[in-house]
Structure 1
Amino acid sequence: MLRELEKAEQKWGGSNKLIDQWLENRRKLLVHYCQIAGLPPYTNAEKSLPSFEHVKSFCDLLVDYVSEGHFEVYDQVINACEKFGAPCKAAIQQVLPKITPTTNAALDFNDKYAETQDDQVLYQLDKDLSELAHTMETRFELEDKLLEVLHSKYSEHAQQA
């Protein structure tokens, strides 16, 4: 996922302040994910559970990220695409509904882990993190499609101007 993020940053980084912020927040989310999942370079030699505070911090970033998409970035992408006509708008309308299940999965993860103080719940964390990673990977791919549509339309528009 980090490699895909780097590709996205190279492709769209610097084109828009909001997109830059959004990609930076994606990076923070992925780093925290790697930390609580104990993935390299954050491998946990003791194989202990992450702290409740660290899990809560990850949940906060997760909710902030999905909220930022729905309430800031997607609206701007939609507004920008409306300027480029029906084909652009149709492409966006095909992608956005596919993102909703990933939002629901992220919110379900948050509901389960954000306020827990129960070690028994944390024993399920590895399995749930694995499922969340798959879901978020799907989300990132869909979000990148939104950015690609917008970027290609801006490029076409700039060439015509």
Structure 2
Amino acid sequence: MLKKLEKTQQKWGGSNTLIDQWLNNRRNLLIHYCKIAGIPPYEMPENSLPAFDSVKTFCDQLMDYVSEGHFEIYNQVVTACETNGSSGIELAQQLVPQISETTDAALDFNDKYTEAKDEKVLFHLDNDLSSLGHAMETRFALEDKLLEVLHDKTS
């Protein structure tokens, strides 16, 4: 996912402050994901789990990222499309509901790990991170399509 992000940043980075901010927030989220998942270069010692606080911090970042998309970015993309012609509005209106479907995985992960009474929940972390990673990858691909619409309408 980080390599795909690098390609996205190379393609659209520097063209729009909003895009740059969004991609930077995605990068920070992915780095934290890799750290708690033990994905290289952030490998963890064998048979160890990440700190519970680190997982909760990741949950905060995840919710911030999801919220930023739904309550700031997507609305601005749709507004840009409406302002600059309708060619991209249909695509944006199709993509936003698809992106929303991936939000459920993020919310479920967040609820499970922020509401946990103790660290025993971490024994499920690998499977949960795998499911969340798949949802994030789908979300990022759809968001990249939105980025293209935003870039086309603001450049």
Q: TM-score, normalised by structure 2?
A: 0.94
Aligned residue number for residue 146 of structure 1: 146
Distance 1:21 1:86 in 2: 25
Residue 90 (structure 1) shift: 0.6
Deviation string 1:78-114 (CA, Å, 9 cap, x unpaired) is: 1101123222111111111101111121011100012
One-letter identity of the residue aligned with 2:139: R
Q: Give the total of aligned pairs.
A: 155
Aligned residue number for residue 96 of structure 2: 96
In our comparison, the structure showing a higher alpha carbon Rg is: 1
Distance 2:19 2:151 in 1: 11
Identity of aligned residues (%): 66
Q: How does 1:16-35 map to 2 (within 5 A)?
A: 16-35=16-35
> Do 2:25 and 2:65's aligned partners in 1 also have CA atoms closer than 8 Å?
yes
Residue 44 (structure 1) shift: 0.9
Residue 120 (structure 1) shift: 2.6
Distance 1:151 1:68 in 2: 18
Residue 115 (structure 1) shift: 3.7
After TM superposition, where is structure 1 displaced by more than 6 Å over at least 4 residues in a row?
none
Distance 2:121 2:75 in 1: 36
One-letter identity of the residue aligned with 2:100: T
1:86 aligned counterpart, secondary structure: coil
1:124 aligned counterpart, secondary structure: helix
Aligned residue number for residue 37 of structure 1: 37
> Do 2:95 and 2:142's aligned partners in 1 also have CA atoms closer than 8 Å?
yes
Aligned residue number for residue 13 of structure 2: 13
Aligned residue number for residue 74 of structure 1: 74
2:144 aligned counterpart, secondary structure: helix
Unpaired runs of 5+ residues, structure 2, are none
Deviation string 1:53-90 (CA, Å, 9 cap, x unpaired) is: 00001000000000001111111111101123222111
One-letter identity of the residue aligned with 1:69: G
